[in-house]
Each structure stands twice: as structure tokens, then as C-alpha cells.
Amino acid sequence: MSRSFQAELKCKTIGAEQAAASVKSGDWIDYGFGLGQPEVVDRALAARAPQLDRVKVRGCLAMSPRAVVEADPEARHLTYYSWYFSGLERKMHDRELCSHIPMNFGEAPDYYRRFVEVDVAILRCAPMDEHGFFNFGPSVTYQKAITEKARKVIVETDASMPYVFGVECGVHIDDVDWVVDGGASKLPELKNPAAGPVDRKVAELIAPEIVDGACVQIGIGAMPNAVCELLAESSVKELGVHTEMFVDSLVTLYEAGKVTGTHKAFNQYQMTYCFAAGSARMYEFLDRNPACFVGPVDYTNLPHRIMQNDKAVAICNAAQIDLSGQACSETAGMRQISGTGGQLQFIRGAYASRGGKAILCLASTYEREGRRASRIVARIDECNVVTTPRTDVMYVVTEYGIVNLKGKSVPERARALIDLAHPDFREDLERQARGYRLIGKTIF
């Protein structure tokens, strides 16, 4: 006879206020990742904020406002930390209410198991299944490692959370201290910006680099989405997916019949990912879908895993690239705008794959406060953080072309990248390149 877990669930179920009351001054609280961050317990903990002191809350890619932060706008009682900034966390950082923790995303589970202290983990999950497990939904990332390390584990259930298939995708009631019934919420969605002319031109340059049987990693943003739209209409076939983030455009690609996973080295015939953020349509697609396989981020993001798939293609965004090839993707000077995430690891993994390609894409210019500036610069801006070193950068794409920097000398790199810049900035970039002696007197 199979074991029933209902009695144990009933015994461990408490109210949000009681769960919040278990937090003590000085505690490290972990909210986990993305959709897996709590809502009702977050609000209950916010109500307790004035009673607490030196509480530290750790999260990542928050997709809805954090009540604990908004309840303490002077940060007198608690501080919030994030591994990777969402737009909300970026705004919190601008208000000095959030600090960044640098990390290669694929190392996150190991960070927790070896270095990170967690007093209380508060994670949003799907309701308990018949086997006693609370499924993490499409936020698997490093959630299992959190539950292993935490001194106390509180699960907040949400009946709207998609139930996903994979590995390390849930926590058993035996390993949970308390359960809070969060009802059924409307999950936060992440809207993709519409592709503009520049995005479409960049996509047109990238799409031919993706051949039959390639295994793709697609990130968030207008450019990667535009690539998927072109691939969905192209003759390419038998693609595989091994990605960090599952995005809406992958649903489009799958439904167009372009994704089979036939040639993948592992998780054959399935799309592999570690988290998802997007539309309600995508969440419905992921729910109990055997065509998808979710695993922790050290399963998806470590280079030695990525390289096992032949023809791996990683498509990543950059914010600024200098003429030696250094790529900045996470800061604007001292202002943190996102994080390293999985970029460096996917760039390295895709390059190491047999027939693989690592692609950094960016618009040639940006506008800020009515002023247009070049994203390709002679040297990176002061205090900007390099996400991908010049020795790792392979393909760079703007709307003006595509170039492979591997094997190119410093002068060759500089000239190639100047050709990718907007024409209005090329003359000044060449003058600066000569001033920095990136380009010498050699004319051949």
C-alpha cells in the first residue's frame, strides 16, 4: 500500500503570519528564484519588518515587487541581495535598497552547498503531488540546493504554478518544515519587446549560422526572438534546444515543427532548460509537457555539459564591446543592470562544441537622454564590468555585419569591429584606435 502524505501535510500547514513569525533578527532568508519567490509570506514578513533587525533577504530575478523591501524603504530592518537583477531589482538598486552578488550562474548550486548560509528558505511551489513532492515549477535553477542547505524550509503553494518534469525539480514533504497555502495567483509575466528594424537585421545575419541539427540557446529580448521568428519560417530542421532560460519564442519554434532534439547528446527529443519566464501561454505549454526537461543550472550551464551537444549555438546580448573584443553585458559604469548570468559559460561551452558557435549580438548604437552613442567603443567605459573576456569572444553581430574574432590580431579585431559600428562613429573610432596603438602603420 502506498504511503499517504495528507496527514503530514495537514500537520505542517500553517498561516502566512505564523510562517513569518519564524524569522528572527539576524537571519539570512532565501526567497529563491524568479517565479519561485513567495508572495503571501513575503507580505506577512513585510508586516513584521519593524519588529526585526539585520535580516538579510537573498533572491534572484524578482518578477513582482518585494513587499519586504517596500515596507522598509530606509532599509533600517532588512537588506535585499540579488544574484541577477530583473528590472524591478535594478530599480531597487537605484534606490539603494538592493545589492548585487556576482556569480557565474552555473555555479549557483555549488555556491549554496559549499559557501552560502541559509537560515530560512521560503519558496513558492506547486501544491503537493500524490508522491509527497512540491514541484518547483519552471524555476528549478538552484532551488534544491537551497532546501538542502536551509535550517528551515517553508513552502508556499500556488495552484497556478506549472508542474514540470526533470531532475532536482521538487522538495519532499519530509524535508519541509512548514507549508503555507497560497491559493492560486495570476503568475507574473515577462513581456518580450517587439522586434524593430535593427533587431530584424541582426536576426537576418544570425539565422544563416544556424544549420540543420544545431542545438540552440536563446535568451530573452527582441533580437533572439527575431532569430526564432526567422527560423520558424526557414527551411532549417531537426533543431535541438539546450538553454538556460525558456522563452516564448521557443514555443513558436517548436510549434512550427523545427525542434525535434534528434541529434542531442542527452535529453534527446526534449528541450532542456533550467528556468522559464514569459507569458501565460508559455507557462501552459510547460505544464506537464514531456517535450520539455528542466534541470538545475549546473546541469544546463556548465561548459562541459553544453559542449557535449554538437553544433551548439549560443546567442547572447552585449551592451558594449571595445575594439579589442571585451564584452560588457551587465553594467553601465558602476550601475548594475543585470548580472553575469550564464553568458560566459554558454560562450565557452558553445565554442567548445564540435561545430559550435558563440554569438554576441548588439545594436550599434543606443540613445540616452536624447543623445545617441556607439555601443562599440575604443576602450570600455570607466568602471564598466567585463562579462566576457576578449579571448572568449567568437562572433560579434550588429546590424552592419557579423565577424568571427577568433584568431584575429588586435589590429584585425579593431578594424573588424569598427566596420560593425554605426558609420557616424567609425572615423572617430579609427582615430582613437590609432591613438591607443590598436592600429599601427601596417597597411596590409
Tell me the pLDDT of the chain (444 aa) as tens digits.
467 899 999 999 999 999 999 999 999 999 999 999 999 999 999 999 999 999 999 999 999 999 999 998 888 899 999 999 999 999 999 999 999 999 999 999 999 999 999 999 999 999 999 999 999 999 999 999 999 999 999 999 999 999 999 999 999 999 999 999 999 999 999 988 888 999 999 999 999 999 999 999 998 788 888 999 899 999 999 999 999 999 999 999 999 999 999 999 999 999 999 999 999 999 999 999 999 999 999 999 999 999 999 999 999 999 999 999 999 999 998 899 999 999 999 999 999 999 999 999 999 999 988 899 999 999 999 889 999 999 999 999 999 999 999 999 999 999 999 999 999 999 999 999 999 999 976 544
> Does some domain include residue 443?
no
Domain of residue 80, CATH code: 3.40.1080.10
> Does some domain include residue 188?
no
> Does some domain include residue 34?
yes
Say whether 244 is catalytic.
yes
pTM over 0.85? The answer is yes
Q: Are residues 150 and 286 in the same domain?
A: no
Q: Are residues 160 and 216 in the same domain?
A: no
Q: Are residues 166 and 257 in the same domain?
A: no
In the chain, count H helices and then E strands.
16, 27
Instruction: Mark out the alpha helices in 219-341 (DSSP H runs).
Output: 222-232, 248-255, 280-286, 297-300, 303-306
Q: Are residues 275 and 352 in the same domain?
A: yes
SS3 303: helix
C-alpha distances in Å from residue 326, one per residue of 323, 332, 337:
8, 14, 18
The catalytic residue among 89, 168, 244, 399 is 244
Give the structural domain span for 139.
11-181
Among the candidates 153, 181, 209, a domain finishes at: 181
For residue 65 the three cell numbers come to: 515587487
